[in-house]
Amino acid sequence: MFLVAWAHIASTRNPIPTTPSFRRSLLNPRRPGHYHHSIDNMYVLISSLPLNHPKDPEPDEENGDEDDGHLLSRIYYIDAEEINRKRMLVASAGDDVSKRCKMGVVVNGRERLNNRSSSRGHGDVYGDAANCSMQNYFGNVLSVPYGEETVGELKSMELSQVADAVHKCVAEATNEEHFLGLIDWVESHRPEKAIVKVYCKEDTDEAAVVVSSGQWFPVTQVEFGWGPPDFGSYHFPWGGQTGYVMPMPSTSKDGDWIVYMHLLKKHLDLVESKAAHVFKPLCPSYLNL
């Protein structure tokens, strides 16, 4: 919202067509508040984490493995044909196998909470009731449900079974009650700070990764007056050990994806060795440069 508005003002000198809403009351808790117990399994208070909770490890330069313990960023592209092929597969069909893999999926709460707009009070210093849609709300309205399986279980699954497990995980948060409950959960634990459990790596975890989606990010609208962008991607540097993956639409070829990955080196090497036909390193020729 911010980038598109900035580009619009810079290129046209006209007011932005959609005014952002800063009505924080849209996310007020209910009275009395209540939430489903599943939120306790999804979020954890930071104060409850052990003092020796693992941090981002320091590189071992003497042994030459300065990248092994750190998350690295790489950008790939996926052909539209390969995307369609994988969708059809999902529809039709040397690690420690006891270790658990976790994957969190970022869910947008705007659409799930949009009905709240008409039920809030009218008028504040930022705008009137006509400007209260959650679609115009300036700020993150997100939840990160996650699922986990052992390495052995994942290896025994067909791709369609993995997809079913992901859909089951995401379904927990794709409704209004989940987000209303999350608001009430935060309110009931104030002033404690909380974090999504998938960000907390445990000794029994093999890997954890959060997958978001920038597929609806209007890259082509970020035009400052010197032509539409040839490329748009993401960058997410953080100090934890949980990976991050963000697919975005390609501006070069319709239907292709640009995929940003922030993972451990061993996992990026696995992507490039086992799935090089899917994830192709971004290069100048792809961008016609």
Q: CA nearest 134: which of 154, 118, 150?
A: 118
pLDDT of 127 higher than 80: no
List pLDDT tens digits, range 13-23.
Answer: 888 888 888 88
Pairwise CA distance, residues 32 & 8, whole Å: 43
Q: Evaluate whether 192 touches 45 at the Cβ level (below 8 Å).
A: yes
- DSSP H helices, 121-205, are 151-156, 159-171, 176-188
> Model pTM greater than 0.95?
no
Of 45-59, 95-109, 144-158, 165-179, which range is least confident? 45-59
DSSP code of 27?
G
- Which amino acid does the sequence have at 117? S
Look at phi and psi of residue 123 and say left if phi exceeds 0, alpha if psi is from -120 to 50, else beta. left
pLDDT of residue 62 exceeding 50: no
CATH annotation of 68-106+145-173+201-289: 3.30.559.10
pLDDT tens digits, one per residue of 175-202: 999 999 999 999 999 999 998 988 887 7
Ranges of each domain in the chain: 68-106+145-173+201-289
Which one, of 87, 113, 147, lies nearest residue 21 by Cα?
Answer: 113
